[in-house]
Structure 1
């Protein structure tokens, strides 16, 4: 029996491909999804945009009464920028933020490295470290206002009677500065520690196993494995802590009220004094806009420098 092989015709390679008259299916657009974003837009408009435009309106006016106002242009901006009290408060706030970063970032990383990575003590360590973050800002100020007092506070009494140091934050400007700085370190270092701990937990175990096989020391492991992989987390921690420390208000206001003298009078306290105490809405509006601009510029510089060094 003979089987005949039938060969199918081969299409000419030079022939153009067949075109189809069918149009591709186009998925219809549904703009109703924007309705889900509408509540967010309205909320942001009422909580951010409208107050911001109100402040901008105040910053170019000299307000005598709700119905009696004079347009002054950029006069308040020039007045605030040339005010020596504002410049002193700016330098004071910048110095405080720098000291906060120099203390809290290394201390938070050290706490994160020393925390357990496995076992039953992980949850206990996380709870203990996070406890200061659960306390409201005004309560933190009240706690340290009493704790650091030399007559009835445990901390102030210990420093004076046990360590033999003459400490009184209500009279001495250096003691007041140290009290506010230690209070902020106690309150916000746990945030840096938790962020760094999350970054450390994301490092795969084979890295540590390879370092152990190579006989790397603890410092070498931290320097070449842990620290490079914490760069992104530390960038976020530095930005958060700078912005928060540069805008600090509640804690020093409760503890020292900006005193003694102007030792702890930061930009936020001075702004509150102008806006609420003196009710100068024009200068306060210009002050707040310059304050906002400074925070944005310095944060952008921080972010740019840290991300470029990472690359």
Structure 2
């Protein structure tokens, strides 16, 4: 088969996936972009307003505050889950039934639906009934869900329970892909565990870690269900992230124009961050002569 025919065959096989992506992604986003440039009356009358909604939300203090809360939550999630995931992956056994048991154990939270996670942690924080509440009471600590710092700590712990397993599994797979020759050379040189991690394991994990950071940033930045179930955006607006602000504007207040503009800005932020990480992955991959280009 000639290269041109092979490429044509590959494009033909990709056609169903391209159609699904167009129907599920491109078409809805086109409608959202249309709404963002119009005002609506009566639910079916649209009037062109241009970039009015974009100018309005970009100077809105509520939008800025919600965006900063979302970014702050994502940064805290990464600061907790990335080091914890690497540490757990390093401590896991390399092979055997115990390694399989750990893999299954870390996979279980990943398979739990987000709404179940939210209600599970909401039940755990119930006064006089929740497991987490009673455990902290035994330790002489209170769990005041009316305090913003406490609620943020609970949300960070909840997200770490739910998603640290993903970082662990990615790092574990990356560590198992490192040839044993590197470790044998390190033992011959008398390298310490820290030196092995710094000069062998961490450089070999750089692509895996970039992918893990990208996945966790996107998931945490667009999080909605769990914080809403646990805290309902409170106390006050301390956990009203950008996703909740968007739902409130577009679905509750039925302001399709402002909600559409907010969704477009939201999408552009995620797209820019994703593109930046993808560029880093490709550039670092191209620097390694032993790796094929992506």
Aligned to 1:190: 165
Aligned to 1:147: 124
Query: Is 1:227 the equivalent of 2:208?
Result: no
2:224–2:244 contact (8 Å) kept in structure 1: yes
Query: Is 1:266 the equivalent of 2:266?
Result: no
In the alignment, which of 76, 79, 94 is matched to residue 71 of structure 2? Answer: 94
1:149–1:156 contact (8 Å) kept in structure 2: yes
Aligned to 1:286: 261
2:119–2:229 contact (8 Å) kept in structure 1: yes
Q: CA deviation at 1:214?
A: 1.9
Q: Which runs of 5+ in 2 are unaligned?
A: 288-294
Aligned to 2:110: 133
Query: Is 1:57 the equivalent of 2:23?
Result: no
> Where in structure 2 are the equivalents of 1:1-311 lying within 5 Å?
35-159=12-136, 161-169=137-145, 171-304=146-279, 311=287
TM-score (norm 2): 0.90
Distance 1:202 1:43 in 2: 33
2:133–2:142 contact (8 Å) kept in structure 1: no
Question: What SS does structure 2 have at the residue aligned with 1:260?
Answer: coil
Q: How many pairs align?
A: 285
Q: CA deviation at 1:305?
A: 5.4
Distance 1:206 1:32 in 2: 40
Q: CA deviation at 1:41?
A: 2.9
2:89–2:169 contact (8 Å) kept in structure 1: yes
Greater gyration radius: 1
When structure 1 is superposed on structure 2, of 218-227 and 195-204 the one drifting more is 218-227
Per the alignment, do residues 128 and 63 of structure 1 end up closer, same or farther by CA in structure 2, a change over 3 Å counting?
A: same
Per the alignment, do residues 297 and 26 of structure 1 end up closer, same or farther by CA in structure 2, a change over 3 Å counting?
A: closer
Q: CA deviation at 1:96?
A: 0.8
Per the alignment, do residues 222 and 75 of structure 1 end up closer, same or farther by CA in structure 2, a change over 3 Å counting?
A: same
Distance 2:15 2:107 in 1: 35
2:53–2:257 contact (8 Å) kept in structure 1: yes
TM-score (norm 1): 0.86
1:149–1:168 contact (8 Å) kept in structure 2: no
Q: CA deviation at 1:72?
A: 0.4
Per the alignment, do residues 226 and 35 of structure 1 end up closer, same or farther by CA in structure 2, a change over 3 Å counting?
A: closer
Distance 1:189 1:219 in 2: 22
| 1:230-260 deviation line (CA, Å, top 9, x unaligned) | 0110010011111111111111111111111
Q: Once superposed, what is the RMSD of the aligned Cα atoms? A: 2.2
Distance 1:109 1:28 in 2: 44
Distance 2:138 2:11 in 1: 65
**Greater percentage in helix:** 2
Q: CA deviation at 1:303?
A: 4.4
Q: Which runs of 5+ in 1 are unaligned?
A: 1-24
